[in-house]
Amino acid sequence: MSFPDPTETFRQEARELLEQLEQGLLDLEQNPANDDLINSTFRALHTIKGSGAMFGFTAVANFVHEFETAFDQVRKGQTVATPALIEVALDAKDHIHKLIEQPDTKLAGGDAILEALRAVIDGTNAPVEAAVAPAESAVIALDLDEPAVTETAAAAPSTWRIRFRLPSDALVYGTNPLLLLKEITDLGPCVVTALTDTIPNLETIDPEVPYLGWQIDLTMAEDPHAAIDDVFMFLRDGMELSIVPLTGAEPAAEPVAVAAPVVETAPTPVAAAPKPAKAAKAKPAPAPAAEAPSAPPVDAKAPAASSMRVDAERLDELMDRVGELVIAQARLTQIAASSSDGNLKTIAEELERLSSGLRDTTMGIRMVPIGTLFSRFRRLIHDLSRDLDKDIEFITTGEDTELDKTMIERLADPLVHLIRNSVDHGLESVEKRLAAGKTPKGTVRLSAVYAGAEVAISVSDDGAGLNAERIRAKAEENGIITPEQKLTDQELNHLIFAPGFSTAKEVTSLSGRGVGMDVVKRTIDGLRGSIDVTTKAGEGSTMTLRLPLTLAIIDGMLVRVGNGRFTIPLSAVEECVELPEGIDGKGRNFLDIRGALVPFLRLREVFNTTTPAEPHQKVVIVSSGEGRVGLVVDQIIGNNQTVIKQLSKLHSPIKSFSGATILGDGTVALILDTAHLVAHGQTYVDRNKSEGKAA
């Protein structure tokens, strides 16, 4: 049995923590006084430092320690999270990422970042110190590594008794009690005693359970509650902990007796060497006679964890196996339908029910909220706003919309190009926005919403919009179109996705080479999706990506056209009607569906079928986005689970099909691309409107 590489496990967890750190810093820039954001950011740093030291990433631990020490002043209220501090902190986060991903490479720039961090802290300390100077006993930290001093005389040291027992699963998750004790002994002179009253017999002992409890008599001037909370910040909810003052107690120079049975193997209490107490946030001391309540014990029936980490390759393999199971189940169902054996039919029905449930469960595992992707672009907007000197408000909606994990991974680059295009080309400068009567702050909106069988992801801005004349002139200059060629507005807007096309007047680090939007088009085509472009001069543009929910297994409607069988994604089907008599295909192809005109396509003509048509043809009404079209077929066979198989590159020019599937009898049925067919059907609507205007 192979075990995962622990350093790779650390890297995966560190990436998540760094992403959390980045989001916290960006939120903190908007809300610098939010204590929850400050504490969560500090916890992320503290965890990265501890885990880095544990797994041998010494450079990471040392760098984060300096970062954490500086940021601790923000947590203690000794400085403010200014935009300058956030800017340097984001650079520090990027450097931590490089240290983790390239541990064997000597990276430069770390000292400069820490120096800039100290400069920002020193520069913002002065006004804070001045503001708190008149306050009685106000804490003013003059040096990050020295104990805090106060204006009034320092309080006399007092002794506090700390008792704690770790959660039952602490050792399983890698908690080292010795490191926790080391952090406590760093707070000041103390005496540490082990509590052995819960150690069972050797025959029943579980090496993964922390039976030992600990008692520490700590001498320090300040209330230790805040400092102890920092030590146990990741264990506090599941452990037993009490902190009480020892009024009139002797200084902790000798071990304090413990109310616990003494056994021969009990460790001898050891007095830690006295060390200067570190500064801690002041908290009101509890009443001398009252004992601080301990945390409630962990419920033994509660689940140990709510999620687990699984390799993406295993999920892909599971999906492949489920797909093969669905194909085998379809074959069994077909055999059972032609058999008179009742037991066989019962088994086939039961297997169909189970495979359908397994398919839905597996698909659910692969579905990921798109918010995990949206959150990455906040940093992009932040950096673009700084580089282009544009004030930008970034708004996201629909973060809970779920999409297949494979599509989430492949959507990152296209969305980066679309957002950069909106910021660079779409949003005007502050001067131009004010001259146009707009607010100085531009808006970029990223949204996701379910649209039938698809997910529509939109990137919109309130900028100047697309310049149709400039797009056409540039396209003619590059030879993409001819001067006499007539194009609709949609076709003209789609020219921005042509390879090498760019309206930028000069090449910059952000745009001008004409490769970004081409990448968007190729990626979305590879995902069987489509792109809609809407724009209005002076008001902005919207790029909408329409993508299927999944690339693996779908519910399909099996239909027959001539001698061929085809599958229509069931989620795109609205209804089925019979083709009215007397419609011979000449003239306008429209149906009246409850007062609405819906164009229809005869698939026999689209596929050049030569066999005689059925006397009573059916029309399947499908939708994509806001468009609808009817597909005329000879027969509706029924519904089935469809395992999508990608077509080869040789078939890529054929736009009517998005893939293929294997039926129960082993034959292949092509899957219709409803988005393409709906777009093809809408040409009838556009032509009808243009003819009506001409008349």
**Pair 252, 159: CB distance under 8 Å:** yes
134: tokens are: 């008149």
- Report the candidate in 443, 436, 432, 466 with the shortest Cα–Cα distance to residue 391: 443
Tell me how far apart the alpha carbons of residues 365 and 402 are, in angstroms, rounded to a whole number: 11
Give the orientation angle of helix 58-75 with respect to helix 110-132, to 10 degrees. 20
Say yes or no: domain 155-271 is CATH 3.50.50.60.
Answer: no
Calculate the alpha carbon distances from 450 to 457, 630, 679 in Å: 9, 22, 19
Please tell me what DSSP assigns to residue 444: E
pLDDT of residue 72: 78
Q: Does domain 6-140 have CATH number 3.90.420.10?
A: no
Side chain identity at 291, as an amino acid letter?
A: E
Cα 404 to Cα 372: distance, rounded to the nearest angstrom:
12
pLDDT of residue 280: 38
Three-class DSSP category at 237:
helix
Cβ burial 347-366 (10 Å sphere, 16+ → b, else e): ebeebbeebeebbeebbeeb
Same fold flag, 314-368 and 553-694: no
Which of 1.10.640, 1.10.1060, 1.10.287, 1.10.10 would CATH assign to domain 314-368?
A: 1.10.287
Between CA 474 and CA 478 the distance in angstroms is 6
Q: Let me know if 506 is exposed, middle or buried by CB neighbors in 10 A (0-12, 13-18, 19+).
A: exposed
Q: Is the dihedral of CA 665, 668, 669, 673 positive or negative?
A: positive
Confidence at residue 634, expressed as pLDDT on a 0 to 100 scale: 92
Give the end-to-end CA distance of the chain in Å, rounded to a whole number: 77
Q: Are 672 and 567 in contact (CB under 8 A)?
A: yes
* Closest among 20, 29, 17, 22 to 86, alpha carbons compared: 29
Architecture in CATH for domain 370-548: 2-Layer Sandwich (3.30)
**pLDDT score, position 443:** 92
- Residue 660 sits at φ, ψ, to 5 deg, of -145, 165
543 CB-near residues (< 8 Å, 6+ apart):
418, 421, 422, 458, 459, 460, 531, 532, 533
Domain 553-694 has CATH 1.20.120.420: no
| Helix spans in 499-546 (H) | 516-526
The predicted pLDDT at position 465 comes to 87
Secondary structure string (H, E, C) spanning 257-324: CCCCCCCCCCCCCEECCCCCCCCCCCCCCCCCCCCCCCCCCCCCCCCCCCCCCCCHHHHHHHHHHHHH
Listed in order, strand segments (DSSP E) in 118-212 are: 139-140, 149-150, 158-165, 190-195
The span from the CA of 164 to the CA of 167, in Å, is 10
Rounded to two decimals, what is the model's pTM? Answer: 0.59
pLDDT of 458: 92
**Which residue matches tokens 């413990």?**
258
3-state class percentages of the chain: helix first, strand second, coil last, to nearest 5: 40, 20, 40
Question: Is residue 564 within 8 Å of residue 472, measured between CB atoms?
Answer: no
Listed as own residue / partner, the contacts of 565-568 with beta carbons closer than 8 Å and 24 or more positions apart are: 565/637, 565/663, 565/667, 565/669, 566/603, 566/633, 566/669, 566/670, 566/671, 566/672, 567/640, 567/642, 567/661, 567/669, 567/670, 567/671, 567/672, 568/620, 568/622, 568/631, 568/671, 568/672, 568/674
Type of residue numbered 10:
F
Question: Cα–Cα–Cα angle for 520, 526, 527, nearest 5°?
Answer: 90
Q: Where are the domains of the chain?
A: 6-140, 155-271, 314-368, 370-548, 553-694
The number of beta carbons lying within 10 Å of the beta carbon of residue 691 is: 10
Write down the pLDDT at residue 282. 38
Mean pLDDT per segment of 10 residues, for the chain of length 695 residues? Answer: 67 84 86 83 82 79 81 79 87 88 80 84 49 32 36 60 87 80 86 88 84 88 80 76 71 40 36 38 38 39 56 82 86 88 91 87 83 86 88 90 83 88 88 89 90 81 87 83 81 80 58 63 80 88 84 82 90 87 66 86 88 88 82 90 77 78 83 81 58 45
